Amino acid sequence: MEWTGEALLIGVRRHGESSVIAEAVVAGRGRHLGLVRGGRSTKLAAALQPGNTVQLTWRARLEDHLGTFTVELLQARAAELIADRTRLYLSQLVCEHLRLLPERDPHDRLLGMALRLIESPPDGAALARFELALLDDLGFGLDLTSCAVSGTTDDLTHVSPKSGRAVSRAAAAPYLDRLLPLPSFLTTRGNASPHDIADALRLTGHFIEAQVWGARQLEPSPTREMLATLLSQER
């Protein structure tokens, strides 16, 4: 078995004395792991950095085997990410999120969003939209199209923390202390203030923690908390 594809590296761990197991999201193939022989060598160290784009060739005797990767660096980002703390945190969080995806299940929309996030100036609104898409692809998508109480599609201002459904301003009024704010940019693609970004990341973070991290008995990402603070500051 053999295939070649372009991929975003999202993780690397040691294997034996000189090799590593690389984890990447591959266009058309999803999250994939493979053994890189000699991956701890000086020659390969620069290429095998999370956040880099690489060309992978995967080989295995059978489809369900781990297989081996041959790696060719296409775009190195590690140095520029290290120079910008916010971008570094953002890249780390995006890679953490992508590692939540089921193995070998294509998620090209998320891959495209991840690459735009990593390559662009830090953007809290884009991160919130990425996390909404992540929840959707994991089967926990929020319903932000209509009010859970009245069915109206207008003036949606809050979300139920239990059902993940939107609530209109009128229906939310008696229960504001129990609901999560829904920034309008998540449904209208408008501009986002720092306050809106903070609310959006609080919203997506609530459901990622409740539906994904908690369900899998994973610790919440400390990187995300720091990043949410940085991205919601006045600029």
Cβ proximity of 122 and 158 under 8 Å: no
**Cα dihedral sign for 148, 150, 153, 155?**
negative
Q: Are residues 128 and 67 in the same domain?
A: no
Residues 138 and 64 in one domain: no
* pLDDT the model gives residue 13: 94
| Whether residues 137 and 219 fall in one domain | yes
Last residue of a domain, one of 11, 45, 79: 79
Residues 131 and 52 in one domain: no
**Residue 128 domain-assigned (yes or no):** yes
Residues 69-86 have pLDDT tens digits of 999 999 999 888 888 999
Residue 220 lies in a domain: yes
Residues 132 and 221 in one domain: yes
Tens of pLDDT, residue by residue over 141-167, are 999 999 999 999 999 999 999 999 999
Is 136 found in the same domain as 43? Answer: no
Q: For the chain, how far is it from start to end, CA to CA, in angstroms?
A: 51
The last residue of one of the domains, among 25, 52, 79, is 79
Identify the segments of the chain with pLDDT beneath 50: none
Task: Note whether residue 87 is domain-resident.
Answer: no
Residues 135, 48 share a domain: no
According to the model, what pLDDT value does residue 64 have?
Answer: 87
Helices 194-208 and 222-231, packing angle to 10 deg: 160
Residues 31 and 130 in one domain: no
Look at residue 36 in the predicted model and tell me its pLDDT. 97
Domain of 159 in residue numbering reads as 123-231
What pLDDT score was predicted for residue 79? 81
169, 221: one domain = yes
Kindly state whether residues 57 and 128 are assigned to the same domain.
no
Looking at the structure of the chain, the number of domains it has is 2
CATH code for the domain in which residue 59 is found: 2.40.50.140
Query: Does 111 reside within a domain?
Result: no
pLDDT tens profile 170-194: 999 999 999 999 999 999 877 899 9
Tell me, what's the pLDDT at 43?
A: 85
Output the pLDDT for position 82: 87
* Among 79, 97, 131, residue at a domain's last position: 79
Domain membership flag for residue 96 = no
The residue type of 76 is A
- Would 117 be classed as within a structural domain? no
With beta carbons less than 8 A apart as the criterion, state whether 98 and 31 touch: yes
Closest to 209 measured CA to CA, from 104, 91, 100, 66: 100
User: Is 190 inside a domain boundary?
Assistant: yes
